[in-house]
Amino acid sequence: MKVAWANAHFLAHLAAPRTYLGLGDEDRVARAALFAFVQITADFVFLAALLHLCGGIESPLAAFFVFHVLIASILLSRRATYLATTVGFLLYAAVVLGESSGVLDHYPLGWVWGPGAYRTWSLAGPGLAVLGVTLYLASYLCSTIAVDLRMRVRGNVLLSRHIAGERLKLEAAYEKLQESEHTKSQYMRKVAHELRGPLGTIETALKVVLQDMAGGLSEPSRDLIGRAQRRAGELAAVTHDLLVLARAREAAVGQERVRVEVGALVQEVIEDFRESAARKDVRLSATVVSGGVVLGDRVALRQMVANLVENGIRYTKPGGSVSAAVRAQDRDLVVSVEDTGIGIAAEDLPRIFDEFYRGAQARAYAEQGTGLGLAITRVIVEQHGGRVAVDSQPGRGTRFEATVPTAG
Ligand code: ADP
């Protein structure tokens, strides 16, 4: 019983037009299609019997076969339509061949109406009515479908025109947005540039005052000047990072790019930080598995790696380690920087790439920091067609991965 039901279910789905698939309620459509198929087949049997009794090949009833094929093609899948057409044709052929070979008796069209009936309305009337109804029903059916199809095509054309229009609008809005982003970063760069000089002078001046007049200053004055010098230093760091961020943003996409050997670049950055890591008793290492080359801006890529390594050292306690690695992955190059530091709280993770964002633990652990390093890192990686990912466990360590496409 179960097998029979499964077969019927399978057949029903075969009979249903595929264009209905994915619109939901497939089972109901399949059941309706199976019912239509059985109905059309039964109609063919009935029609064949009628045809046989009403003159066989002489009868205009044959037109009804066409009519049923039209209905089948509307309601059923292409496969089921061909199957129903074959059933109809075989039945029609059985009547015609059966009668012509003498296996079946032939009932001339006149036997119902009597000989010479073609001269009377009793034959001409029903004959005309049958053919007329068939023709008009067929034309009604086909034209209804054609109108429906044309309306759908028209709807699709209008919709695609609308979508094209909206796309143009979106593109224009995106261009405006990019223009304003560009203006913003140009402005940011100018301000940062203007501030950098005076801030540097203030910091150096305060440093000189502290060094040269250390003996002649009271304790509170020394403390005050010392704090002012530190604040000036922090501001100088922020303006420096703002300048770097603005430059990274403005780096035009079509800008001339050079071949950068990322492995060598990572080794260089590690050497740059060796001293500061040793001062903090943090072990520093690099593993370069791939000598892959990236087409890009060398200075920017170096800055990106430096930001990750600097953060690793900054947020790792003495005795810990920071390791950088370069490996190939499909057509990309993956630069990873992993540390055994303080880690990042889950609630901070989604925001660490935002400008000026600093995690609470990071602020408590390391006072210095502008909150711009990772924003710069992300901009640079994205400018090179790549992406940055982070994985961290608070108290155990953090791993950053920058994936960039290789040259060629
Ligand atoms: P900054 O380090 O100057 O605060 P960043 O933009 O470089 O700014 O980093 C943003 C924040 O991401 C940091 O304040 C810190 O909370 C977190 N962070 C980044 N790198 C690490 C790391 N290696 N270990 C722990 N926290 C990190």
Task: Let me know if residue 55 belongs to a domain.
Answer: yes
91 assigned to some structural domain: yes
Structural domain containing residue 54: 2-169
Q: Are 11 and 125 within one domain? A: yes
Cα 343 to ligand 1 centroid, rounded to whole Å: 9
Residues 6+ away with beta carbon under 8 Å from 271: none
The CA distance from 229 to 162, in Å, is: 61
Distance of CA 330 to the CA centre of its chain: 20
CA of 390 to the centre of ligand 1 (A): 11
For residue 277, is it within any domain? yes
- Choosing from 153, 169, 185, the residue where a domain stops is 169
pTM (2 decimals)?
0.64
- pLDDT score, position 348: 96
* Structure confidence at residue 83 as a pLDDT band (50, 70, 90): very high
Q: Tell me, what amino acid is at 118?
A: Y
Cβ atoms of residues 405 and 293 within 8 Å: no
* Residue 165 sits in the same domain as residue 263: no
Q: What is the CATH number of the domain that holds 383?
A: 3.30.565.10
Helices 26-53/63-75 angle, 10° precision: 170
Predicted local distance difference test score (pLDDT) of residue 44 = 93
How many domains does the chain divide into? 2
pLDDT in tens, 102-111: 999 988 876 6
pLDDT of residue 255: 66
Cα separation values, 30 from 8, 72, 80, 200, 341, Å: 10, 14, 12, 79, 61
* Together in a domain, 8 and 156: yes
Q: How far is the centre of ligand 1, averaged over its atoms, from the C-alpha of 344 (Å)? A: 8
> 259: helix, coil or strand?
strand
Residue 201 Cα to ligand 1 middle (Å)? 28
Confidence (pLDDT) at 284: 97
Question: Does a structural domain hold residue 244?
Answer: no
Calculate the average pLDDT of the chain.
87
Q: Region 388-393: what's the mean pLDDT?
A: 97
Spell out which residues line ligand 1, taking CB within 6 angstroms. Answer: 307, 311-312, 315, 339, 341-344, 348, 352, 357-359, 362, 369-375, 398
Q: What is the pLDDT of residues 292-315, one digit of tens each?
A: 899 999 999 999 999 999 999 999
| Reported confidence tier of residue 184, pLDDT bands at 50, 70, 90 | confident
67 Cβ neighbours under 8 A, 6+ residues apart: 134, 137, 138
How high is the pLDDT of residue 143?
81
Which carries the bigger pLDDT value, residue 349 or residue 108?
349
Do 259 and 395 fall within a single domain?
yes
Residue 296 in domain: yes
pLDDT, position 377: 96
Share of the chain above pLDDT 70, in %: 90
376 and 259 share one domain = yes
CA distance 111 to 121: 15
22 Cβ contact partners less than 8 Å away, ≥ 6 residues apart: none
For residues 8 and 140, state if they share a domain. yes
Q: Is residue 321 part of a domain?
A: yes
What integer pLDDT is reported at residue 5 of this predicted model? Answer: 55
169, 184, 201 — which closes off a domain?
Answer: 169
Backbone angles phi, psi at 139, to 5 degrees: -70, -35
Domain boundary residue among 152, 169, 186?
Answer: 169
286 and 153 housed in the same domain = no
**Position 252 confidence tier, pLDDT thresholds 50, 70, 90:** low
260 and 164 together in one domain: no
Burial class for 267, CB neighbours closer than 10 Å (0-12, 13-18, 19+): middle
Q: Same structural domain for residues 271 and 391?
A: yes
| 69 and 163 both lie in a single domain | yes
Q: Assess whether 164 and 298 both reside in one domain.
A: no
Instruction: Indicate whether 128 and 274 sit together in one domain.
Output: no
113 compared with 190, residue with greater pLDDT: 190
What tokens appear for 181 in the block?
């982003």
